[in-house]
Amino acid sequence: MKIAIVMGSKSDLSIMEECSGILRQFGIPYEMRILSAHRTPEEVAAFSKNAREEGFSIIIAGAGMAAHLAGVISAYTTLPVIGVPLDASLQGMDALFSMVQMPPGVPVATMGVGKAGAKNAALLAVEILSLADDSLQARLEQYRQDMKNNVLDADESIKKL
């Protein structure tokens, strides 16, 4: 029931740590990997083909520019693959298009560009795992409640302005 967080380069780490932070918060085991669709294609293929039997449930892949990583992983596995487009150029529009416009048959669950997307990738993973784990569901509800309370607090503070 591990999650893999894969990124194309170490420079993506500061964004993708949004993922690992959430997973730690939910007590979900994960492994981070640096794998490049273009510089280590065989390692990506091997990793993806073996991911399910290695015990991974979900693969989160973050990449920028012509971001093929998530799509290439998805081509080699039937595990759910979640893509996070990173803004390395063109405000991340190139990465977004390269991930979200997958042809029929090989899906990538695409998130928003950058940090918000990285955080949501982890939360989507937790949602998926919560289908078989009631305690995760409870923790997700609590996470939502905490977010809600933060907004309500902010609302109280602004009313006083």
Q: Which of 3, 4, 28, 109 binds a copy of itself (CB under 8 A)?
A: 109
Instruction: Give the whole-angstrom CA distance, residue 62 versus residue 146.
Output: 27
Q: Please, are residues 79 and 51 in contact by the beta-carbon 8 Å criterion?
A: yes
55 near a copy of itself, rule: CB under 8 A:
no
CA distances from 89 to 41, 49, 54, 96, 114 (A): 22, 30, 34, 11, 12
Return the residues of window 132-161 that contact a copy of itself according to CB under 8 A: 132, 137, 140-141, 143-144, 147-148, 150-152, 154-155, 157-159, 161
46 near a copy of itself, rule: CB under 8 A:
no
Nearest distance, CB of residue 73 and a copy of itself, angstroms: 10
2 near a copy of itself, rule: CB under 8 A:
no
Nearest distance, CB of residue 33 and a copy of itself, angstroms: 6
Instruction: Give the whole-angstrom CA distance, residue 30 versus residue 39.
Output: 23
Give the type of residue at 140.
L
Return the residues of window 63-82 that contact a copy of itself according to CB under 8 A: 64-66, 68, 71-72, 74-76, 78-80, 82
Q: What is the CA radius of gyration of the chain?
A: 17
53 near a copy of itself, rule: CB under 8 A:
no
Nearest distance, CB of residue 135 and a copy of itself, angstroms: 12
84 near a copy of itself, rule: CB under 8 A:
no
Q: What angle do CA 100, 101, 102 make, to 5 degrees?
A: 95
CB-wise, 54 or 127, nearer to a copy of itself? 127
Nearest distance, CB of residue 154 and a copy of itself, angstroms: 4
SS3 17: helix
Distance of CA 150 to the CA centre of its chain: 24
